[in-house]
Amino acid sequence: MAHVPQTFFDALAVRTWCGLALRALGRAREEIDAINVYPVADGDTGTNLYLTAESAAAAVEAVFDGHDAHGSGKPALADAARAMAHGALIGARGNSGTILAQLLRGMAQVLAADGETAHTDGEGLRLALRHAADSARQAVAHPVEGTVLTVASAAADAAGAAEGDCGTVARAAYDGARAALAATPGQLAVLERAGVVDAGGRGLVAVLGALVETFTGEAPRAVPMVSGRFPEAGPAEASEASEASEAAAAAPDDCADAPGTGGPAFEVIYLLEAGDTAVARLRERLDGLGDSLVVVGGDGLWNVHVHVDDAGAAVEAGIEAGRPYRIRITHFGLGDVHTTGAERQPRERAQRAVVAVVPGEGLAGLYTEAGATTVLARPGEPPASGELVEAVRRAHAREVVLLPNDADLRHTAAAAAEQARAEGIRVALIPTRSAVQGIAALAVHEPERRFDEDVVQMTSAAGATRYAEVAVAERQSWTMAGICQAGDVLGLIDGDVAVIGSDVTVTAETVLDRMLSAGGELVTLVLGDEAPEAVAEHLETRVRESYLAVDTVVYRGGRQGAVLLIGVE
């Protein structure tokens, strides 16, 4: 869709760029995945870049929505740039996404240097691109030429030599990156053998192409995917790239500096709250444990990425440094990137799977044990639609039942379902509004039933489950039960505040009594980390003594946001 070109780099330009970059990466995702042979030939670079960009774009949109809601007009450049960087940081996926997050953070540090400035010009963009390339290179423990780092540096060099407005500088950066990308096969042996360019660098060129379009209104010409080829037609070149990628993965003599074959068994990624000194020690520790180490961020929040054989040790190192969370561990194991082409057997697609969003690690374990593919939603960090689509793909099934487990995720889940359907997957979205409704749905799930019958039974079980939660108010606000103050204990039934109290156990009991007054056969309690030790025992006793023939089951949810989740069915 055409847009009005931006003259200066202001908040609206940040928003436009993020949207165009997301669209460009969405178009190129499968092709980039197909040529992904370094540092690990796991075919997910395009997807990881897309998910990282989606998180950045969502964060910028949230800033604009906040200003619209308060009638304060357009946000400042600094606000939009910081949101872009923060969104990319918390949503970064994989080696490529982590580096992209640092590139955006480097740009934001320059763009937001003067918080009062409404916009910047071509000179400001030149400085931002230079700082981005330099900071990304510093974030990688052992930089390798012929990768996205080389492409970023070339873009910054070309931009630095350009004179003119933002459009002129952006186009120079794009042209420099495009030329550097075409040269990557000559710098990295694994790329040359596969006959492809660097996948991460290709993604960065797409992002810079979106920057050109932001300031000129014109999308730049195509870039090479396979060495010496330009993807004007798309599918044919993607097919060739895929074949080249498979050939590279099967090659018995991959270069020693590429961990794509015979390298570490696990990819470990987590967000980390820690100080600079602790992170410096963490870098040294992780560098000794594995390779492909990238640590990005600052100001107390970091995104850590590393490939290791001992995933537990990598997580323990993070615990020693600070507080790691949103931990993702991917096994590169048998039948995956460390086997030769002859050994690699395609995994057969399952008939049916369940994909569920869960609010805490404890529930993630419970859902996983029940056979579901889970997406962890941290408080204040809801998953994006791309992350849900990726989970549907990861489930590797012909039919998928999607449980969003949050009323606020209904549109996100619907968008993910539509995208998955476009990929040929049959998806049924059950509008669960709480994790306890998801538990009820999962309890009656029977993969052997006809798909429609299974969905009906799961939907019925979820709909028959009333849900509640007990939480602590963060600020003064109006509620259905009156005005609450920061620190008050809130009891919410079916999404609305029904009780305002001062004690978690007393409030929980009041909520439970109100729910059971309408009847019920089973009470489900999910305890958060902040729940009092005695609350579960007290509520179980209350149910046993006051409500005959009602059973109670208790689960540990971990850091789930709410102190307590309650389900009655």
Task: State the CB neighbour count (10 A cutoff) for residue 290.
Answer: 23
Count the helix, strand and coil residues of the chain and give each as a percent rounded to the nearest 5.
50, 20, 30
Q: What is the dihedral of CA 274, 278, 281, 283, to 10 degrees?
A: 20
Q: Answer with the residue of higher pLDDT: 213 or 480.
A: 213
CA nearest neighbour of 55 among 8, 7, 13, 97: 97
Q: pLDDT at position 387, please?
A: 82
pTM: 0.62
Q: pLDDT at position 343, please?
A: 39
Q: DSSP 3-state assignment of 454?
A: helix
For the stretch 321-348, pLDDT in tens is: 998 887 777 776 433 332 333 333 445 7
Q: What are phi and psi of 331, to 5 degrees?
A: -90, 125
For the stretch 223-239, pLDDT in tens is: 655 554 444 333 334 44
CA nearest neighbour of 59 among 21, 85, 79, 87: 87
Q: pLDDT at position 336, please?
A: 35
Mean pLDDT of the chain: 84
Q: Does the structure show a pLDDT above 50 at 517?
A: yes
Q: Answer with the residue of higher pLDDT: 369 or 173.
A: 173
pLDDT band at residue 459 using 50, 70 and 90 as cut-offs = very high
Pairing mode, if any, of strands 551-558 and 522-528?
parallel
- 201-228 average pLDDT score: 82
Show the beta-strand stretches assigned E in 4-123.
Answer: 9-10, 119-120
* Contact yes or no for 405/358 (Cβ under 8 A): yes
Q: Which of the residue ranges 327-331, 471-475, 555-559 would you say has the lowest mean pLDDT? A: 327-331
Q: What is the dihedral of CA 391, 307, 340, 93, to 10 degrees?
A: 30
For the stretch 49-76, pLDDT in tens is: 998 998 899 889 988 888 777 676 788 9
For the stretch 427-456, pLDDT in tens is: 999 999 999 999 999 999 999 899 989 999
* Type of residue found at 182: A
Q: pLDDT at position 41, please?
A: 73
